[in-house]
Structure 1
Amino acid sequence: MIRTALVVGGGVGGMSASLSLAKRGVAVELIDIDPQWRAYGAGISVTGLSLRAFDDLGILDEIREQGFVGTGFRLRTPDGAVVMETPRHAGLAPIDSSGGIMRPVLHAILQKHVRKADVTVTLGVEPRGFRESGDGVTVALSDGTERTVDLVVAADGIQSKTRKTLFPDAPAPQFTGQGCWRIVADRPEGLNGAEMYIGGPVKLGLNPISQDKLYAFILEHVPDNPWYADEDMLPRVAELLAPYGGDIVKIRESLGEDSLVNYRPLEWQLLPLPWHKGRVVVIGDAAHATTPHMASGAGLAAEDGLVLADEMAKTDDVEAALTAFGLRRFERARMVVENSVRIGEIEMAGGNQVDANKMLGGTMQKLKEPY
């Protein structure tokens, strides 16, 4: 088992790896380029694989308390009429549940546990270079200091500088042709699970993220990949919601200058194996960034941290452990990334939604298998 590790990136994947390694006795330092260690974004949906990983990390009870965990699903027409509803069940295992939470709330929960685990947290720095030796790797940091450790875990996101350094010929992230709007609004009475509106001009979904708030997402076909100024975001969201009735009317009317709205173009990337070079390994979005069609990006990143610690504990051979980690994770990540992108392609082409739903259901069933 390794003794020391440096984790680059303080998001879900980096914190999962930090917690999982620290629990196995590794002295971990986590670094993040943001001096305030902030989490950007609105709400996120979480499916069963995410909840199972959060349970294994020891944070599920806090997710339940500060977010939303439940079962059941509704499909609605644009006017708000219910066309399909699945039953709701209490007491199901995490893998059979779903939910939502504010991303900053999720990060705050993980941050608290990272600090309780005696992980050293250093903010406002990033790696500037890696120098391998026989039994360690020395990392030059942007503040002029160095760290020599047994392992470096790079969880620095879809635009990972570490990935670019280790694998300069790796494919860059690719734009899919869709953009995703995310808004936070008051949760209407009766919204007790995820909902999707079908047959409208855009893909629209709602998910509770707390006792009184919901997260709404809008997927829009934007082949020209537009950029939106801050002052243009609320009018555009209001325009996209205008054709919808039911609860969407109240949500649209509640939008104002204090509303939390963000937008990002959807991109993906999948790094071919190996995911490591020497004693440096990339995980999470740095290795496999997906679109949100399966709400599984955070869960995959959390699983990465858990699996990495598990493989590192099996052998003192770092090369063997990192090879085993990549082999254990690649096909699962590939399935999510490629199938998510394919569902988006079907949506943009106006294709058969039965095919898309069949692909979604089959993938989610496969993801119930142990990670």
Structure 2
Amino acid sequence: MSKARKVLVIGGGAAGNAVTILLRRAGITVDLVEAKDDWNATAGSGITLQGNALRVLRELGVWEQVEASGFGFGSVGITAPDGTVLHAHDDLRTGGDDLPATVGMQRPRLQQILIDAVRAGGATVRVGTTAEILDQDADGVSVRLSDGTEHRYDLVVAADGLGSRTRAAIGITDKPEPTGMAIWRIAAPRPAGVTRTDLAYGGPAYIAGYCPTSETTLYAYVVEANRDRASIPPESYADEMRRLASSYGGHWPEITEHITDPAKVNYTWFDRLLVEGSWHRGRVVLVGDAAHCCPPTLAQGAALSLEDAWVLAQMLTGTDDWDDALFQAYYERRITRVRPVVEASVQIGQWQLDGVRDADVPGLMGRTMTMLRELP
């Protein structure tokens, strides 16, 4: 690439941060705007990063910090509701044999690592700021920021999440749809015996699980059918999660003792989104949750978003021709990988909602994760 370029990235989550880091490394001028005043006001308590996510984080130059901050492990256990371990199996190393199969992390810690890398890369960052697309032509996009300034960019990358205002503004009408499930999450101290993810199926919830996130912490979660959020006052969140979790054995009684503060409990519906046809309109292109979202049944949401950023940055820095053909090629390269993951993630949840007892969950998971070992 020989031309001087200027890019606006809308959204400072995983995908937006990753594409900013990579484009700045290539010498491209990048402005990043984040709507939240607190850039690290990260919802949720923990995150499960599988190998293909770690592979991108290594490309971003932050793997050593992630490794030091998280908890790596290589297996998953299946338990009965009383805590009896029924089966344990090794996780596939989707990022290659030189990376762990899985790293659990506290979400705010991962976000801070990426924020620091963005700032170190020299991008111009504006927090508490939104962006409005004014118009565009074959050469670029005119944008007005909420601080009243107007700017011209060669490209706008919309990384503004599941409820992306930019997606709607450029005429893409796809919207997220609930799958019928919801999840309660909390961060808690890690019992010494928790050294991997364990999942209990059955009991009062569909799934009760936990993932170690450091030497001293974990995040725990309980999945149930979604409920009208208006019927669950936030001050009852701890009581509701504790009620569900108290029916599980093994390490759960020790974890449940810490489900006391409703402000530390996160309640979220599972959603599905997959934008078809293309992920761009002119010089505005979608990445991450703005283009696709799936339930965390395969723990691939962040990984797919990071992969989007990596692939898009590779393609942008490999040519001077930022045109429809390039952005369509980006979509076609990503959709063949993203669609099977979204569909499998939704299917696993639907089998549970439908009470299907003989579903081949291990087979579907194995096929999907094997695909993800290939480079995106």
Question: Could you tell me which amino acid in structure 1 is paired with residue 209 of structure 2?
Answer: G
- TM-score by structure 2 length? 0.93
Do residues 75 (structure 1) and 75 (structure 2) align? no
Query: Which of these residues, 227, 230, 237, is aligned with residue 234 of structure 2?
Result: 230
State the Cα distance separating 1:242 from its structure 2 match: 2.0
1:370 is matched with which residue?
375
Query: Which of these residues, 180, 183, 208, is aligned with residue 180 of structure 1?
Result: 183
Query: Which of these residues, 329, 335, 344, is aligned with residue 334 of structure 2?
Result: 329
**TM-aligned CA distance change 1:88 to 1:124, over 3 Å:** closer
- TM-score by structure 1 length? 0.94
Task: Work out the CA distance in 2 between the residues paired with 1:89 and 1:276.
Answer: 33
1:40 is matched with which residue?
43
Query: Which of these residues, 277, 281, 285, is aligned with residue 281 of structure 2?
Result: 277
**TM-aligned CA distance change 1:184 to 1:259, over 3 Å:** farther
Per-residue CA distance 1:98-157 (angstroms, 9 max, x = gap): 021111111000000000000110111111223213422111112211111111100000
Contact 1:178 1:219 in 2 (8 A): yes
SS in 2 for 1:318: coil
SS in 1 for 2:374: coil
Question: Could you tell me which amino acid in structure 1 is paired with residue 306 of structure 2?
Answer: A
SS in 1 for 2:360: helix
State the Cα distance separating 1:89 from its structure 2 match: 11
Task: Work out the CA distance in 2 between the residues paired with 1:328 and 1:21.
Answer: 19
SS in 1 for 2:244: helix
Per-residue CA distance 1:204-258 (angstroms, 9 max, x = gap): 1111001111111111013656642221111111110122112101111232227
Contact 2:181 2:225 in 1 (8 A): yes
Query: Which of these residues, 355, 358, 364, is aligned with residue 350 of structure 1?
Result: 355
Contact 1:47 1:95 in 2 (8 A): no
Task: Work out the CA distance in 2 between the residues paired with 1:248 and 1:156.
Answer: 35
Contact 1:35 1:124 in 2 (8 A): yes
83-92 vs 157-166, greater mean Cα deviation: 83-92
State the Cα distance separating 1:354 from its structure 2 match: 4.2
Structure 2, unpaired ranges of 5+: none
State the Cα distance separating 1:357 from its structure 2 match: 2.4
Do residues 99 (structure 1) and 103 (structure 2) align? yes
State the Cα distance separating 1:94 from its structure 2 match: 5.5
Query: Which of these residues, 258, 265, 270, is aligned with residue 266 of structure 1?
Result: 270
313-322 vs 17-26, greater mean Cα deviation: 313-322
Contact 2:158 2:166 in 1 (8 A): yes
State the number of aligned residues: 370
Q: In percent, how many aligned pairs have the same letter? A: 37
Contact 1:17 1:306 in 2 (8 A): yes
State the Cα distance separating 1:171 from its structure 2 match: 2.4
Contact 1:75 1:85 in 2 (8 A): yes
Do residues 294 (structure 1) and 326 (structure 2) align? no
Alignment RMSD, CA only? Answer: 2.0
Question: Could you tell me which amino acid in structure 1 is paired with residue 136 of structure 2?
Answer: E
53-62 vs 225-234, greater mean Cα deviation: 225-234
Question: Could you tell me which amino acid in structure 2 is paired with residue 68 of structure 1?
Answer: F
Task: Work out the CA distance in 1 between the residues paired with 2:232 and 2:373.
Answer: 38
Contact 2:138 2:282 in 1 (8 A): no
Task: Work out the CA distance in 2 between the residues paired with 1:184 and 1:34.
Answer: 22
**TM-aligned CA distance change 1:267 to 1:24, over 3 Å:** same
